[in-house]
């Protein structure tokens, strides 16, 4: 059916439902066109409003609602729907198909079993169509348990009884046993069996159709018509009404005929199943293992990544080793660094060795001079009291300010000779002599005097 035709049909169905909101056939037609056009939001709303308005549950309407839930990927509600449909009709084929889709979406492994189970209850044409689509086949031995022939053999009865013993709580097998009893013309026993089943599943379509057939063969037309009405209300598309045509009105409503023709030519529920199955399958194929060429590229990329990581780890370990030299090398490297730097400076600036000695002397004085200036008086008095007489102390005291003044070296004329030996008086101490040699730029002698003074007075300075 062309898409524009579906839109026309959808518009007509909307108007019809507006005029007859409780018509089962009209609502099912509307649900069918909404499903084929994939208007799942509207389908979800309309199925809910219809289901809440009817007294007898309609399994086909519930199937459409389940399809809408799956399309919206509302799997929780979809699972609830499937369980509810099975509580009404344990042989509803679409409930098994949709339950398989739910398992497929969730990544389960039992979806193929659900698909195979649906083959037991589909019509022959739909079964063949699904077998081709899924590339599966129905289990013929199981199929015989639900499709009871008109002529029943003892072998068939025994198979059904054995199946019931193996699965005593599965209703379709019990219905098959009641059907065998009916076809053997044991109507009372068949009625007893089927009534017990209907007491648990009051709207079970196959059981209701079998009960109508039993009443028909017993000549109870009123009970037969009542059972048929319940059957058609639950599932207007039932395949179990072939033997009940005499009790069904010859003139079906136009909408009922349109609905049956639509399901025969373009079944909307089956179309939804196929479309959804392809989508889920395509998602799975995207997550599959890539082709051989792609896998080689990925493998080479992974190997390159691993090699790069190993190389980085190796380089980091080597850098760590370089940063942490052995303990013996550490004390040797530290004093070498300043000397190397000074040698480079000497080469670049051509500084004479005397200036280097002057720098060493200044470093020495920067450490030791402040305490000398601050505590010069008491320290000098102690020195002179120990080594000289009182008279010598009076002569030296006026010279103390000269020690502070002599911190700034006196500028001498360029023509003066640098190496002049001083006549050092015996009464002067080593500090005075050191400063005098420093003024004359006789650094070696000055260093010797200062070192000698420090050795003698280590405790005070």
Domain of 12?
1-138+264-286
> Residue 125, SS3?
helix
Q: Is the pLDDT of residue 325 over 60?
A: no
- The rounded distance, in Å, linking the Cα atoms of 378 and 375 is 6
- The rounded distance, in Å, linking the Cα atoms of 460 and 203 is 117
Q: Which of 82, 22, 28 is nearest to 56 (CA)?
A: 22
Q: At what angle do helices 187-200 and 171-183 cross, to 10 degrees?
A: 160
Confidence (pLDDT) at 116: 94
Q: Is the pLDDT of residue 184 over 60?
A: yes
- The encoded tokens of residue 70 equal 């799956």
Instruction: Tell me what the mean pLDDT of segment 181-193 comes to.
Output: 93
**324 assigned to some structural domain:** no
Contacts of 283 (CB under 8 A, 6+ apart): none
Most confident of 184-188, 370-374, 402-406: 184-188
For 246-257, write each residue's pLDDT tens digit.
777 656 688 889
At residue 1 the predicted structure's pLDDT band, cuts being 50, 70 and 90, is: confident
- The encoded tokens of residue 240 equal 């179990």
- Looking at per-residue pLDDT, the higher value among 443 and 222 belongs to 222
Confidence (pLDDT) at 369: 43
Instruction: Tell me what the mean pLDDT of segment 192-208 comes to.
Output: 94
Our CA angle for 371, 375, 378, nearest 5°, is 145
Same domain, 45 and 91: yes
Q: Are 446 and 361 in contact (CB under 8 A)?
A: yes
**213 assigned to some structural domain:** yes
**172 assigned to some structural domain:** yes
- The rounded distance, in Å, linking the Cα atoms of 338 and 393 is 44
Q: Which of 114, 111, 108, 76 is nearest to 94 (CA)?
A: 114
Cα 64 to chain center, whole Å? 32
Measure CA of the first residue to CA of the last residue in the chain; give whole Å. 114
Same domain, 185 and 198: yes
- The rounded distance, in Å, linking the Cα atoms of 168 and 126 is 29
Number of domains present in the structure of the chain = 3
At residue 279 the predicted structure's pLDDT band, cuts being 50, 70 and 90, is: very high
- Looking at per-residue pLDDT, the higher value among 187 and 373 belongs to 187
Q: Which of 35, 103, 21, 104 is nearest to 63 (CA)?
A: 35
Which stretch of 80-94, 128-142, 197-211, 350-364 has the lowest confidence by average pLDDT? 350-364
- The rounded distance, in Å, linking the Cα atoms of 183 and 294 is 63
Confidence (pLDDT) at 118: 94
DSSP conformational letter for 266:
S
Same domain, 57 and 185: no
- The encoded tokens of residue 297 equal 């590229």
Q: Determine which helix (DSSP H) or strand (DSSP E) holds 309, and give its type and residue range.
A: helix 292-323
Confidence (pLDDT) at 374: 43
Instruction: Tell me what the mean pLDDT of segment 31-53 comes to.
Output: 96
At residue 75 the predicted structure's pLDDT band, cuts being 50, 70 and 90, is: very high
Confidence (pLDDT) at 384: 45
- The rounded distance, in Å, linking the Cα atoms of 57 and 272 is 22
Instruction: Tell me what the mean pLDDT of segment 405-412 comes to.
Output: 45
- The rounded distance, in Å, linking the Cα atoms of 425 and 441 is 19
Average pLDDT, the chain: 78
- The rounded distance, in Å, linking the Cα atoms of 212 and 223 is 7
Confidence (pLDDT) at 391: 43
Contacts of 247 (CB under 8 A, 6+ apart): 212, 216, 221, 224, 225, 228
Same domain, 87 and 59: yes
Cα 275 to chain center, whole Å? 27
Q: How distant, in Å, are the alpha carbons of 118, 248, 289, 400 from that of 127?
A: 8, 26, 33, 125
Q: CATH code at 45?
A: 1.25.40.10
Final residue before a domain boundary, out of 219, 238, 256: 219
At residue 109 the predicted structure's pLDDT band, cuts being 50, 70 and 90, is: confident
Confidence (pLDDT) at 413: 47
**327 assigned to some structural domain:** no
**186 assigned to some structural domain:** yes
pTM, two decimal places? 0.62
Q: Is the pLDDT of residue 289 over 50?
A: no
Q: Is the pLDDT of residue 367 over 60?
A: no
Q: Are 50 and 27 in contact (CB under 8 A)?
A: yes
Same domain, 385 and 446: yes
Confidence (pLDDT) at 89: 96
Q: Are 149 and 181 in contact (CB under 8 A)?
A: no
- The encoded tokens of residue 398 equal 């006026």
């Amino acid at each position: 059916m062309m898409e524009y035709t579906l839109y026309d049909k959808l518009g007509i169905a909307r108007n019809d439902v507006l005029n007859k909101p409780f018509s089962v056939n009209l609502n099912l037609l509307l649900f069918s066109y909404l499903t084929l056009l994939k208007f799942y939001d509207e389908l979800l709303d309309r199925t809910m409003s219809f289901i809440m308005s009817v007294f007898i549950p309609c399994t086909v309407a519930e199937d459409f609602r389940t399809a809408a839930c799956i399309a919206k990927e509302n799997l929780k509600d979809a699972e609830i729907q499937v369980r509810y449909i099975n509580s009404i009709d344990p042989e509803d084929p679409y409930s098994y198909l949709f339950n398989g889709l739910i398992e497929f979406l969730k990544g389960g492994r039992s979806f193929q079993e659900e698909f195979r189970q649906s083959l037991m209850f589909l019509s022959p044409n739909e079964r063949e169509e699904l077998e081709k689509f899924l590339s599966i086949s129905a289990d013929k031995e199981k199929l015989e348990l639900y499709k009871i022939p008109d002529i029943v053999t003892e072998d068939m009865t025994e198979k059904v009884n054995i199946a019931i013993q193996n699965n005593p709580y599965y209703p379709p097998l019990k219905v098959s046993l009641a059907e065998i009893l009916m076809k053997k013309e044991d109507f009372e026993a068949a009625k007893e069996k089927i009534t017990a089943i209907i007491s648990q599943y009051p709207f079970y379509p196959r059981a209701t159709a079998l009960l109508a057939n039993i009443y028909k063969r017993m000549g109870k037309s009123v009970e037969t018509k009542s059972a048929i009405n319940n059957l058609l209300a639950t599932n207007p598309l039932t395949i179990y009404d072939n033997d009940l045509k005499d009790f069904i009105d010859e003139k079906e409503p136009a909408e009922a005929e349109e609905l049956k023709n639509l399901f025969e030519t373009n079944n909307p529920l089956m179309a939804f199943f196929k479309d959804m199955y392809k989508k889920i399958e395509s998602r799975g194929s995207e997550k599959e293992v890539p082709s051989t060429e792609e896998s080689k590229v990925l493998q080479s990329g992974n190997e390159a990544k691993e090699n790069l990581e190993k190389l980085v780890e190796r380089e980091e370990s080597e850098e760590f080793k370089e940063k942490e030299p052995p303990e013996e090398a550490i004390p040797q490297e530290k004093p070498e660094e300043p000397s190397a730097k000074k040698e480079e400076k000497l080469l670049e600036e051509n500084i004479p060795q005397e200036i280097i000695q002057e720098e060493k002397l200044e470093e020495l004085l920067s450490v030791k001079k402040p305490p000398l200036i601050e505590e010069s008086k008491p320290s000098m008095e102690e020195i002179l009291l120990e080594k000289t007489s009182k008279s010598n102390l009076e002569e030296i005291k006026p010279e103390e300010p000269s020690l502070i003044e002599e911190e700034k070296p006196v500028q001498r004329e360029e023509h003066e000779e640098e190496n002049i030996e001083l006549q050092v008086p015996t009464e002067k101490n080593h500090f005075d002599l050191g400063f005098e040699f420093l003024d004359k730029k006789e650094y070696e002698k000055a260093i010797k005097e200062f070192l000698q003074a420090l050795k003698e007075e280590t405790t005070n300075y």
